[in-house]
Each structure stands twice: as structure tokens, then as C-alpha cells.
Structure 1
Amino acid sequence: MAVIRRESRRHYRWPEIQFHLLIIVVLSGSATCLGIFAWFMSVQAQMDLGTPWLFPYMVVTGGLGVFFVLLVILLISRGFLLPGIVIIGSFILFVLWLTGLIETSLLLYGVTGNVNDNCQIYVVDNVSRGNTIDTLAWLTQSTICNCWKTAFAFELVNTVFYFWMMVMSWQVHRDFRVD
């Protein structure tokens, strides 16, 4: 008597274009914030200033975001990407990015000593030109101000995209089929 064994596999239908777009944006946002906050940490160290907790926090969060995306890409290439992995990873990263977004927004737009007002007063309203050390200092200050705004924007985008990845993964999980 011959025993025929048939293995059934779950087939998840991921919306490919949408999912790949999310992955690219989240990867670029994570890498950008990782670089910005690592640079902020080196600037603080160079100036012999203390490092706010947000800077290493966002370096770790950005690194985890890059790692998660690379893990997802590896699982996609092997055919083992499960919605549960994306749901759990996206939820964890959503909470981490939301925490960073809240703290960044408090530092950037907060009530006292906020970065945005200082940038407006000391950089935007105080343009320096010419071949002088003052112009070089102004350019560095302008870069720091722009990096704060860029980091805030990418934190907002990543927070929204991780939430959307959770929703999309739940829909994929709900609509699976067994062959």
C-alpha cells in the first residue's frame, strides 16, 4: 500500500508594488535618521556637550529599522515572509518611531528653547555671506537646522508607514489561501 503525502503550503498574496515602495521608503528613512542622529552625537562630543537621550535612541531605532527591512528582503527572497513577522516587527518599530517622533517634535517645536525658533532667530534671520569663518559657521548651523527638520519628516513618514505595514500585513494574513 503506497502512502501519498501531499504537503500544503500557504500562499500569501502581498501587494508587490505597494509593499516594495513601503520597504524602500522605510529603509531610506531609517538610514537617514540613523546618519543624522549619529552625526548629532559626534557634534555633541566634539563640542564637549552632553548627549540627549534622543540621539542614541534614534541611532538604535534607525539601526533596527534597517535590520528589519534587510530581514524582510531576505525572507522575501527565500519565500518565507509571513504576515505575522511583519505585523510584530512593524508594531515594535511603530512604537519606537512614534516615541522618537514625539520627543523630536518636543525638541523641535516645544515651548521653551525649541530648535525651530533658535534656527529662525540665529540662522534664517542672520544670513552670513563671503569667504569668512563666520560664513562657514553659518553653513554648519544651517545644516544642523535642516537635519532636524529632515529627521522630523522621516520620523513622521516612518511612523505612518510602519502603521500601514501592520494594516497591510493583517489584510494579507486575513486573505491567505492554502494550496
Structure 2
Amino acid sequence: MAAKSTVTGLTGTTGWTGTSFGRSSMTYDGPPPSTHVRTYNWPPWQLNFWIFVILLASTSIIGVFATFIQIQSQLELGIPWYFPYFITVGSLSILFILGIFWLIGQRRLLPAIIMVGGFMFFILWLVGLVVVAIQLFGPDGSIQSVCDVQVFGKNPKGTSMATMAWLQQRNICQSWQLVFAMALVGTVFFIWVMIMAYQVFVNS
């Protein structure tokens, strides 16, 4: 008489003289385990162009506001809070780009990381953009109105202190315009990278 243990998988034969056991072979007839690994195909040209533009915008704003802080300190004037704020945001954006490079090297650049990070930096850049726009185009005593009257409305010539001062003032006015342009571009491009990440997630 044959008996099988459901725990050990042993098949035994019971007779008058005792019981002998032998191990039975066990097979798995179910479907094979899944080996599918989800991959995300990022558009290389678009991603590289986005990285280049964000690096350009971040470094431009850091350079301009760092110079403004130096000028304010030399003139013994107060430093507005949005100078160090935008320098910090630009520095964090560069660190974010470096993190993206590391994830690309590890083949772990997930769309969720880009969407969450892009949304956070979009808020930070949007705050900076609003503040810069108020300072540059505000209703009362805006920087742009002062530049139009006192700087762009004049054109001194010659090797004089007045000409040197005017050139410095024009450089400051143009730097403010550069900061506004870079802040606007950075804000728009963080919206674009969120859309790009969502498309990569859907298509993959």
C-alpha cells in the first residue's frame, strides 16, 4: 500500500515488514515568473536642451545677484531678501541637474522624480519671477522706469567720470532685464519638463 506525505513530498510503501520511503520529484506546471522590466525612453535632444537652458538661467541669475550683493555691501546698503533667495534657488537647481546626471548614469531616471522635482522648482522659480517682475515693472518707482529716464534716455561720451557712471548704471539696468528673462525662461522650462516626464511615463 502506497502512502504520500503532503508535507515532505515523500512517497512510501507500507508492507508487513515495515515502511520504505523514496523522494518523489516535484514539478511546477504554472505560468513562468515575469521577467519584464519597465524602461523609460527619454528624448535625448529635448532633455539635453532643457538641462542646458536651466544651467544657463541658474548661473546667470547667481552671477548677477552675487554682483548686486557685492555692490550693495560696498555702498553700505541693505541687501534685499530676494537676492540670496534666488541665489539659493539657482544653486539648488544646479544640484538638481547634477542629481539627474547621476540618475542617468545609474539608469534610474524615473518620470515621477522629474515631475515632483519639477513642480517644486516651478514654485520656487515662480516666486522669484513674481518678485523680480514687481521690482522691475512695479507701479511706483520701478527699476525700469528709472532706467528709461536716467539711463537709457542719456548717451554721454568721452573719458569722464560721468560716462563711466552711466556705463555702470546701464550695465545694472541690463542685468535686471537679464534676470527677468532668465527667471521667465526657467519657470516655463520647469513646466515643460513636467509635461515631458508625463509623456515619457505614458509612452513607456
TM-score by length of 2: 0.81
CA distance in 2, matches of 1:159, 1:58: 13
CA distance in 1, matches of 2:27, 2:157: 87
Over residues 115-164 of structure 1, what are the superposed CA-to-partner deviations in whole Å (9 max), with x where a residue is unaligned?
00001111111222111121111111111000000000010000000001
Within a 5 Å distance, the mapping from 1:97-136 to structure 2 comes to 97-136=125-164
* Structure 2, unaligned runs of 5 or more: 1-25
Which residue of structure 2 aligns with residue 12 of structure 1? 40
Provide the identity percentage: 38
Over residues 71-121 of structure 1, what are the superposed CA-to-partner deviations in whole Å (9 max), with x where a residue is unaligned?
112211221111111111111110001000001000000001100000111
The amino acid across from 2:74 in the alignment is Q
Within a 5 Å distance, the mapping from 1:37-48 to structure 2 comes to 37-48=65-76
The answer to whether structure 1 residue 153 and structure 2 residue 194 are counterparts is no
* Structure 1, unaligned runs of 5 or more: none
Over residues 31-76 of structure 1, what are the superposed CA-to-partner deviations in whole Å (9 max), with x where a residue is unaligned?
1111111111111111111111111111001111111112112211
Which residue of structure 1 aligns with residue 111 of structure 2? 83
Of 2-11 and 73-82, more deviation after overlay is shown by: 2-11
| Greater percentage in strand | 2
CA RMSD of aligned residues (A): 1.8
- What SS does structure 1 have at the residue aligned with 2:156? coil
Which residue of structure 2 aligns with residue 142 of structure 1? 170
Q: C-alpha displacement at 1:8, in angstroms?
A: 3.8
CA distance in 1, matches of 2:97, 2:156: 41
Larger Rg: 2
The answer to whether structure 1 residue 55 and structure 2 residue 83 are counterparts is yes
Count of residue pairs the alignment pairs up = 176
Which residue of structure 1 aligns with residue 52 of structure 2? 24
| Greater percentage in helix | 1
